[in-house]
Amino acid sequence: MIRRTKFWKTLICGLLLALAITSVTSTVVKAQVNNPRYELSETMVKKIENSKGRILIYHTHTQEDYVDSNVVEMGRDLALKLEKKGYVVDHVSKDFVRGDYNNAYNYSREYLQGVDLTQYSLVIDFHRDALAYPNTALYKGNDVAKGMMVFSKASRHFTDSERVSNGILSYMDAFDRNLTRDSWYYDYGINDFNSDLGDNIILWESGNNSNNKLEIMRLNTYFASAIDQYLSR
């Protein structure tokens, strides 16, 4: 009787241990898929290998709003458009403002430093500008928001950032020069807008606070196409 009791205790302990290991493994796999800081799952690796490339979209100023939307929602719209063109897109909706606007670039920098940026063909910090006047272009009978690139000339990757940005803008110009505003150059951006962390990081101002959701989505259509043409050249 003692041996039988010991046998059942051993069996139950073994089963509980197996369940615990399975649970931990499942959690790790989910983390790998959802967080670029972790190693990728085999499925995700195959997905990337069969794609045109991998793109990261994030928002240093997550609180920026449009008339009826916000940069996070519109960043997701851009991500979906790029995915339809064959890219794997990591869209980060993490709040980098945290009620402390002046340190937002420090918080987004911490995130980027924990990610292997070399795995990305392009890294986009998606913003919207703040203007006191309308910011649209009439293209093919529709009002389209205007976009703009922003640079920090002090960044050690300024030349790279400008090269990538201007390459994408050249394809935007092929649609209509009025879809973008002249790029804005700062002598020193906050943390160089984190563009010093890699040679493929751009800061994109998608419309401004006067634009509505539909105008931004139209701009996203042309921006996604320009990105695709630039990366596929």
- Alpha carbon distance 200, 143 (integer Å): 30
Of 60, 193, 41, 201, nearest to 117 by C-alpha is 201
pTM of this structure = 0.80
- Alpha carbon distance 172, 178 (integer Å): 9
The pair of structure tokens assigned to 191 is: 């943390």
Sign of CA dihedral 30, 98, 152, 130: positive
Q: Are 155 and 197 in contact (CB under 8 A)?
A: no
Classify 69 in phi/psi space as left (phi over 0), alpha (psi -120 to 50) or beta.
beta
Q: Are 205 and 150 in contact (CB under 8 A)?
A: yes
The pair of structure tokens assigned to 192 is: 């160089």
Query: Which pLDDT belongs to residue 131?
Result: 86
The pair of structure tokens assigned to 96 is: 């980098």
Of 130, 148, 136, 138, nearest to 208 by C-alpha is 130
Integer angstrom CA distances of residue 129 from 4, 37, 162, 227, 229: 74, 30, 19, 20, 25
The pair of structure tokens assigned to 199 is: 């040679």
- Alpha carbon distance 151, 193 (integer Å): 8
pLDDT tens digit at each of 233 positions of the chain: 444 444 444 444 454 444 443 443 333 333 333 355 445 665 556 566 667 999 999 999 999 999 999 999 999 999 999 999 999 999 999 999 998 999 999 999 999 999 999 999 999 999 999 987 889 999 999 999 999 999 999 999 999 999 999 999 999 999 999 999 999 999 999 999 999 999 999 999 999 999 999 999 999 999 999 999 999 99
52-231: which CATH number, 3.30.750.24, 1.10.10.10, 3.40.630.40, 3.50.50.60? 3.40.630.40
Query: Which pLDDT belongs to residue 47?
Result: 60
Q: How far is CA 171 from the centre of its chain?
A: 20
The residue extents of the domains of the chain are 52-231
